[in-house]
Structure 1
Amino acid sequence: MTHPEQWPLRDLVLRTPRLELRPDDDEGLRELVEVAYGGVHEPGLMPFTVSWTDADPAYLGRGILQYFWSRRAALAPEDWGVHFLVRFEGRVIGMQELMAKDFAVTREVGSGSWLGLAHQRRGFGTEMRAAVLQLAFDHLGARRARSDAFADNPASLAVSRRLGYRPDGTQTVVRRGEPADLVRLLLESADLVRPEWTLQVASLAGCRGLLGAGVGG
């Protein structure tokens, strides 16, 4: 008796002109940990709502692994987050998440990402977000995408602006014990500023049900 693939995400691959994105696996996460130890942002800045890079270096790597393991274990059609390990020339350089809650009903996704310092300011951030947006809009049937960034994170805001997001209000959150303004952003599928390339997607069919996108849709 032939059983269906129990974890179809293991075979999912997204390809852009320079990058390859695959859902996280343990070998890739070890590479990602090394990227994190090499630095993700300048010490005086904090681009994340959860200040995970402030962790004691003795425990940072373990914390990264446990976080990704926990998210992978909790993935379900009604609440999912796929953490794509982003590779350039075969090496992991960062992470791009695509997530959704009740996607079958809302058809909305969110995203989050980071790159190692050595790989920033090379256009990778825009390319990898464009990849998951094309996956969401063109292959999963999403209608909207949401994102956010702190008002003092011009690099992330610039990526959103290039791709067609519009401001969708602000909120005050606590960052390192102090109030900080978070800019919310919204992108309608028709407003995506598409790159000159088209995303290549492999082995998506078996993942649709797991992501609340239907077996055939």
Structure 2
Amino acid sequence: MLVDHFPLVGLRLTTPRLELRLPTPEELADLADEAAEGIHDPAVMPFLVPWTDRPPADVARGVILHHWLRLGGWTPQSWSLNLTVFSEGRVVGLQTIGASDFAVTRTVSTGSWLGRRHQGQGIGTEMRAAVLDLAFTGLGADEALSGAFDHNATSYAVSRKLGYADDGTQRHAVGGKLGIERRLRLTRDGWERHRKVPVSIEGLTPCLPLLGAG
């Protein structure tokens, strides 16, 4: 079975409303469709790499290729786990958690996107809480990093709600324009004080060596 060779396909995170896991091929197609329908105001770019600034068919194909690229380049020293987010069995978005040299740094970073029709319902907070539980409870992380451009008030609000603290700013060129990123850092203490979403983790133990935590 595939899970015997690549146990991450058996990893599941569940919250009161959501399930996060690697998708089947057809579910990956649904995720691509969700992205192609739009995930933010076209007038404002929330991503450092402007991957959504393309025709819908190219956006959809990019989601699929990026998913395969991350899995194909996987090593315990450098990994990025793109978990599809399901609400009531329906694909609603993507939640990423990644790390470099986790065995030494004990640090993860996160990123995400959510289909526009699913925004404003608290799903973004709940799916981030799921991977933070994976990081701190499951992997024994010491800290988690995130960031958002200064115009992305929604992402910033989610981070602060979950206990992140400001960690400086960084200037980027995005589409030929200046973008100011507000960096954020969550310590284990901050996570424990703001932890409110119950999370269940299944299938983690065989994944630990692949995540640099075994």
Q: Which residue of structure 1 aligns with residue 92 of structure 2?
A: 93
Report what 1:63 is aligned to: 62
Residues 24, 83 of structure 1: 8 Å contact kept: no
Where do residues 13-162 of structure 1 align in structure 2 (5 Å cutoff)?
13-162=12-161
Aligned residues: 212
* Cross-structure match for 1:167: 166
Distance 1:3 1:126 in 2: 31
Of residues 48-57 and 80-89 in structure 1, the stretch that sits farther from structure 2 once superposed is 48-57
Q: Secondary structure at the match of 1:109?
A: strand
Match of residue 175 from structure 2: 176
Match of 1:204 in 2: 204
**Which runs of 4 or more aligned residues in structure 1 lie more than 4 Å from their structure 2 counterparts after TM superposition?**
none
Measured in 1, the distance between the counterparts of 2:136 and 2:2 equals: 30
Structure 2 portions without partners, runs of 5+: none
Measure how far apart 1:50 and its partner are: 0.6
Deviation at 1:38, TM superposition (A): 1.5
> Residue type of the partner of 1:182?
E
Counterparts of 1:24 and 1:4, CA distance in 2: 13
By how many angstroms is 1:118 displaced? 0.2
The residue that corresponds to 1:191 in the other structure is 190
Pairwise CA distance, 1:4: 8.4
Identity in percent:
47
| Offset at residue 3 of structure 1 (A) | 11
Q: C-alpha distance in 2, partners of 1:131/1:61?
A: 25
Alpha-carbon contact 2:39-2:113 (below 8 Å) kept: yes
Instruction: Please report how far the alpha carbon of residue 23 of structure 1 lies from its aligned counterpart in structure 2 after TM superposition.
Output: 2.1
Cα gap change, 1:158/1:3 in structure 2, threshold over 3 Å: closer, same or farther? closer
1:198 positional shift = 2.2
RMSD value, Cα: 1.5
- Secondary structure of 1:155 counterpart: helix
Structure 1 residues 29 and 4: CA distance shift in structure 2, 3 A: closer
State the Cα deviation string for residues 53-103 of structure 1 (Å, max 9, x = none).
012333222222111111111111000011110000001000000000000
- Hey, what's the Cα distance between the residues in 1 that align with 2:152 and 2:39? 13
Summarize deviations over 1:133-189 as a string: whole Å, max 9, x none: 011001101000000000000000000000010111101101121011001100101
Deviates more, 1:129-138 or 1:62-71: 62-71
> Displacement of 1:117 after TM fit?
0.2
Q: Distance in 1 between matches of 2:16 and 2:147?
A: 26
Q: Distance in 2 between matches of 1:152 and 1:171?
A: 14
Contact 2:3 2:9 in 1 (8 A): no
State the AA in 2 paired with 1:58: A
- How far residue 24 of structure 1 moved from its aligned partner, in angstroms, is 3.7
Tell me the secondary structure at the aligned position of residue 70 of structure 1.
Answer: helix
CA distance in 1, matches of 2:56, 2:138: 39
